[in-house]
Amino acid sequence: MAVSPTSAGHEIRKIFTTLHNEPIEFYIDPASAEREKYTELIVKNGGFVHEQESLLPTVIYLTERAWDTRPTVPFLFVDDALARGYVVDPGYDKNYAKDYHNQLVPREQYPAEKTKKAKKSRAPTTRFTAEADHYILEQVRMKPRFRTTHKFFEELASHEPLKGHTGNLIRSRYRLQLENKLNYVYKTDEYDRILLDANGQRICVPVESAKTLKTKYTAQDDYQLCTDVIDHVLRHQSRALIAATSGPYPYDEDKFSISISFFDQYAHQHPHHTSLSWRDRYRKFARKFGLQAYKAFYEQGLNTKDGPTPMKSLTERRVKDEDGNTVAKEPSSKKRKSQRGAVYSLGAVMDPHTDLGFHGHEVPGMNQMPGQYDVESAAAVAQMAVNSRGNARIDKALEEQNSNLDDNIDDALRESGAGAGRVNMVDEIDSAIHPNLQAHRVGHIGDENAFGDIDIKVPDSQDPLAEMNYMPRDCTLDDLFTGLFYEEDQKNVLGRILNYLEDLAAQETGKVIDKLEGIGLTRKFVGHILRVTSAHAMYVHEYMTHVFRCLDQSKHSGTLLFVHDRDGFWTPEADEALEKQNYAALSHMSESSINLRRDFLGFA
């Protein structure tokens, strides 16, 4: 709670808090020089600044200049709020990108602060009118994703047509009386903005197909999962090893070994639940219930009037004691070493685990983003991409690897799937690059620019790509930089590299490697850079800018490694697309970049 108790015991709302005294959430353009200053101001005044970019519509995105790609708000917004001493509550419909001044309301117009302990006498009841019911339904249709939340109805309570009803009551009214009349909702985008058809009309979507709420596990889901896990195990494990020695079922489920990649694959095939969700369903429910037991239970249930039910009441979150009181589960004997998962606490801003920084060292598993590839997958992909030239086709290699490595490889090459529906931070970095910075780009091959068509000449050798491999996405900063790097004044390093590259005439790769190694990049990392950029000076130049920006922003080293969907920057996936002549996947590449890449990889 972003409130300060006063001597009188009342609570005064800080500037950057909502009407419900919750911190208003911000995200500040990482490219802004004033980021630190505004973070401090916001946090000091009760707000919360996200470390990672958030796509939530309630998170205000502060930038110096407006973006075309998403709603943004100038820093002036913060200045004005501080000067006036108040700010509006960022509700679901607020669009701060547009003339936010009009949305500022005098603080005195805020509803009176709630006094927590005041004895409430219930207000006289107000009957819901047909108009109010209609209004509730329309609001729900416009924000279908929020219709089960308390907050949404609390927000509705402040709407004029529903004055006199509390949020809880509106929610109750909706749940008990109106839900069955909802029938349809309006189609919304990922920001929960209403989409319009060609005629400017809202698009109605039947509630059942709106897919706006968390999906509950059905009996069919559970049955399918149990069946598929068992089938998977039977395909990949020796039947002799998993045979049960006792009990009513043929297999000993304790001996089942299911890899994470199985669930990734599974979510790819059954995308109505995420990979993690399937995995947890297996771990917390299916395994406890018993896969074979549930199959039998389900099949038996088919013969009953109500049909089979999904697995439930198998978690151990709370238990009841003899008196019927709920008690927390006995804590583990292992003491928690640190407070974890405090997503919305201000402490999270200062969480040292998110502060990689220049001098930070990787903590195993830290910042591992959903959808990122694991070590083996990434390494395998990198290796296959490297080996692809003159060797068997990747898809064939994939097929072979796939059977050997228990599905791990194709996960890495897959563009969607387990991570579908989640934000892949590797991609996010690219979209997070400020358009103003994009303006500093050095242009494409063939443009008039400082580099012209300078390729860094690759030495003749039996395998010129041997030293230019992609690095695995989860490598650490220590894999990228040597101690030398940290001895340099960081501000000068980038300038020196860029000057060097600008002065570059066609040179041998060896000299470039030596030069970059000389300022503290590991040889492997230099190889990676050349691999990503097709060893073209212009792209190396731009890539180094990207690297330093990532370092400035304390980005995970895995995020730093690849530049997605930008002309001239290659990834294992893009190489594979080129190899397979899948040009649709290379639509972001210019023809000259593709030709350059062909030459670089030695494709005919």
Partner DNA sequence: ATGACTCATATGTCATCTAC
Partner DNA sequence: GTAGATGACATATGAGTCAT
If the CB atoms of residues 344 and 358 are measured against DNA, the closer one turns out to be 344
Q: Where are the extended beta strands (E) located within 344-426?
A: none
Q: Which burial class, exposed, middle or buried, applies to 235 when counting CB atoms under 10 A from its CB (0-12, 13-18, 19+)?
A: exposed
Write the secondary structure of 281-300 as one string of H (helix), E (strand) and C (coil): HHHHHHHHHCHHHHHHHHHH
Q: What is the footprint of DNA within residues 511-530 (CB under 7 A)? A: none
Which residue among 101, 117, 122, 359 contacts DNA (CB under 7 A)? 122
The nearest distance, CB 233 to DNA, in angstroms, is 11
Which residue among 6, 7, 109, 125 contacts DNA (CB under 7 A)? 125
If the CB atoms of residues 27 and 77 are measured against DNA, the closer one turns out to be 27
Contact 456, 512 (CB under 8 A): yes
Q: What is the footprint of DNA within residues 198-237 (CB under 7 A)? A: 213-217
Which residue among 101, 117, 127, 359 contacts DNA (CB under 7 A)? 127
The nearest distance, CB 344 to DNA, in angstroms, is 4
Which residue among 406, 427, 428, 567 contacts DNA (CB under 7 A)? 406
CA-to-CA distance for 197 and 203, rounded, in angstroms?
6
**Contact status: 416 vs DNA (CB under 7 A):** no
Which residue among 4, 115, 158, 172 contacts DNA (CB under 7 A)? 172
Helices (H), 118-218: 130-142, 150-157, 167-173
Say which amino acid occupies 238.
Answer: S
Q: What is the footprint of DNA within residues 341-380 (CB under 7 A)? A: 341-344, 353, 363-367, 369-370
**Contact status: 128 vs DNA (CB under 7 A):** yes
Which of helix, strand or coil describes residue 104? coil
Q: What is the footprint of DNA within residues 131-170 (CB under 7 A)? A: 145-146, 148-151, 164-166, 168-169
The nearest distance, CB 75 to DNA, in angstroms, is 26
**Contact status: 318 vs DNA (CB under 7 A):** yes
Which residue among 5, 200, 331, 483 contacts DNA (CB under 7 A)? 331
Edge-first strand listing for the sheet containing 25-28: 48-50, 25-28, 60-63, 73-74
CA-to-CA distance for 105 and 94, rounded, in angstroms?
13
CA-to-CA distance for 211 and 523, rounded, in angstroms?
48
Which residue among 5, 9, 111, 124 contacts DNA (CB under 7 A)? 124
CA-to-CA distance for 115 and 74, rounded, in angstroms?
34
The nearest distance, CB 455 to DNA, in angstroms, is 40
Candidates 64, 94, 95, 92; CA nearest to 78 is 64
**Contact status: 119 vs DNA (CB under 7 A):** no
CA-to-CA distance for 489 and 548, rounded, in angstroms?
13
Q: What residues form DSSP beta bridges with 25?
A: 48
**Contact status: 121 vs DNA (CB under 7 A):** yes
The size of the interface with DNA (CB under 7 A), counted in residues, is: 75
**Contact status: 182 vs DNA (CB under 7 A):** no
DSSP string, 231-276: HHHHHHS-HHHHB-SSSSSSB-GGG----HHHHHHHHHHSTTS-HH
The nearest distance, CB 92 to DNA, in angstroms, is 12
- Two structure tokens written together for 263: 């669930």
How many residues are there in the chain? 604
Q: What is the footprint of DNA within residues 256-315 (CB under 7 A)? A: 257-261, 273-274, 276-277, 280-281, 283-285, 310, 312-315
If the CB atoms of residues 340 and 491 are measured against DNA, the closer one turns out to be 340
Residue 319: enclosing H or E segment and its boundaries? strand 318-320
- Two structure tokens written together for 333: 């004997």
Which residue among 235, 340, 359, 440 contacts DNA (CB under 7 A)? 340
**Contact status: 129 vs DNA (CB under 7 A):** no
If the CB atoms of residues 412 and 504 are measured against DNA, the closer one turns out to be 412
Which residue among 120, 305, 359, 440 contacts DNA (CB under 7 A)? 120
Candidates 373, 369, 397, 402; CA nearest to 383 is 397
Q: What is the footprint of DNA within residues 436-495 (CB under 7 A)? A: none
If the CB atoms of residues 266 and 285 are measured against DNA, the closer one turns out to be 285
If the CB atoms of residues 136 and 537 are measured against DNA, the closer one turns out to be 136
